[in-house]
Structure 1
């Protein structure tokens, strides 16, 4: 079913307030989830709300926390999230990185002990809107690992996303991807919608290829997601463990507690002011030229012109603002149950 954007935003906001979030925090988190849906990343959208409600109830997600700076030098900051909402903490930490990079040309941010930061591309967009470049590496140290290393059949890491954002006017280049073949929550969405995932995405616990989401979400022995690009994605996933986990101070995937219901992320981000490195007008012209050059390539399918990173998300956003956000019946039912547990009654779809 399709739900009008502002109506869905209001419903999510009500649930978050019912769970104990102050109005400002509820608005930030709701906006982040809705924006993820708008940009086509349903895996990081409103479907995660029931998990957030459960984690608050379990004392593993703490509403109304803010970034605690353990270190704040001119160019380096170490932030503890106090297991608060990642959408709030990471946004505040990115604000620091933007200010530090503008003042000094470069900023290194290390964030640890924070609940799910959500769609990492949002922080890249935040930096790019300020005219800055950002490179971010994220890992997770909670729950059972879900991604097998290249050549392995046992999972060892999370989906470990990477984001690289470069300013380009109103259409920044935002490369934001999980190092697994697909995001874990995309498997959940596929299961809720009663469909299979793309071949080459998951394997059974015996290492056999599968497209059945129950391989990861069923009652039997669990399989694993595969890394994208074989050894290349697997290598980048390892880098996320080393930078987003070990360097940020939160630890890497071998520390994960399979029984922990929380979603604990670590993040290391490097933010660069290109004006401190190169003539800024020239840089902007060069970015414009190379993006245009990429798009002039003849398309394999004439009906699908060449896009660059960030274009698919913007196209999805335009479409969904007009048509509404698709929410499958299972996800809506789960959100309704989470709301009811807080005494919040959702409007009928």
Structure 2
């Protein structure tokens, strides 16, 4: 099946996923919200955070590590300082709930520091930065990952922590004069774990310098972090991006997202649980309340124009900024459909069967 693919219309895929989540115990509204978020990740070009996560979510529900129909609980509210507990609910629900609360405080106070602890997989963190940017707010997000550790520390030979994403969103216009924002959203590993799953399902190697195998040796086989490796049954690990610099950023995300939020850090042997838990520190700032809105707009525009005037380098058509590839992918995939490898689709079909749903007949 490796190498073959199917093309799915976004509406069809949303319908399939929504029905799977309903069958797994979610309300119709929650199921639709989770499905919409996952498909938006596919449309944005991030298949690692899209529909292919569905089988893992279904397993996590069945194991008890993911709690359907669960929202955030406020554990501290002192105005511009918020602490929230996601109670292991769907991150596609608890994440937006947390952001709505944080944005309300930012409108009131000009800024907000918010922690969100113990959410199930938050998905693409750029979604939350886009929410803030649409309201004219700058946002910074530091996230840790509580699941089987898949990233090796700098100088280490096995996985000790997760892919720990960092995201920065900067509006480049205003709600009255919208313009596509700057959305920098990246795993602190060389690649997200989900991208390794996608490459493995497609039967494709990854570039050198991304992975080590279960013995700590360099490899280009993404399967070393997706399936247990014979004969030991152990896994390999992904390397941090930027050597010691990415490693340092990963530690910062673990400490800020996990420890500061109270959600916890990873310091235990790997287990086989399918749940993926995230905790997040978010900082939101309203440039209007800071008194720098006019300068912020003009200087941002001038700097981006300066960047865009750079002649294309070898192998490039033009200079881009973070966020532009996602917008281009959305337009193309909404028009042409979402291409998915057949193995990932088969896993989604199997996930539906686990909750009593025949996927081919569900849309």
If the length of structure 1 is used for normalisation, what is the TM-score?
0.96
The question of 1:135 aligning with 2:140 is answered yes
SS in 1 for 2:360: coil
Q: 2:159 aligns with which of 119, 133, 155?
A: 155
Structure 1 unaligned segments of length 5 or more: list them: none
Q: 2:60–2:273: 8 Å Cα contact kept in structure 1?
A: no
Q: Match for residue 165 of structure 1?
A: 169
Q: Match for residue 66 of structure 1?
A: 71
Deviations 1:29-83 (A, max 9, x none): 1111000000111000000001111111111111111110011111111111111
What is the CA-CA distance between 1:303 and the residue it aligns to?
A: 5.0
Q: Match for residue 242 of structure 1?
A: 255
Q: 1:329 aligns with which of 334, 342, 348?
A: 342
Q: 1:147–1:156: 8 Å Cα contact kept in structure 2?
A: yes
The question of 1:145 aligning with 2:149 is answered yes
Q: Match for residue 329 of structure 2?
A: 316
Deviations 1:121-170 (A, max 9, x none): 0000000001000000000122x211011111121110000000000233
Q: 1:87–1:118: 8 Å Cα contact kept in structure 2?
A: yes
Deviates more, 1:257-266 or 1:155-164: 257-266
Q: Match for residue 174 of structure 1?
A: 183
Q: 2:99 aligns with which of 87, 94, 97?
A: 94
What is the CA-CA distance between 1:290 and the residue it aligns to?
A: 1.4
Q: Match for residue 274 of structure 2?
A: 261
CA distance in 1 between counterparts of 2:249 and 2:208 reads 21
CA distance in 1 between counterparts of 2:210 and 2:315 reads 27
CA distance in 1 between counterparts of 2:270 and 2:84 reads 22
SS in 1 for 2:267: helix
Deviates more, 1:199-208 or 1:249-258: 249-258
The question of 1:281 aligning with 2:294 is answered yes
What is the CA-CA distance between 1:256 and the residue it aligns to?
A: 6.9
Q: Match for residue 83 of structure 1?
A: 88
SS in 2 for 1:253: coil
CA distance in 1 between counterparts of 2:270 and 2:69 reads 25
CA distance in 1 between counterparts of 2:257 and 2:89 reads 18
Q: 1:267 to 1:21 in 2, by over 3 A?
A: same
The question of 1:186 aligning with 2:195 is answered yes
Q: Match for residue 124 of structure 1?
A: 129
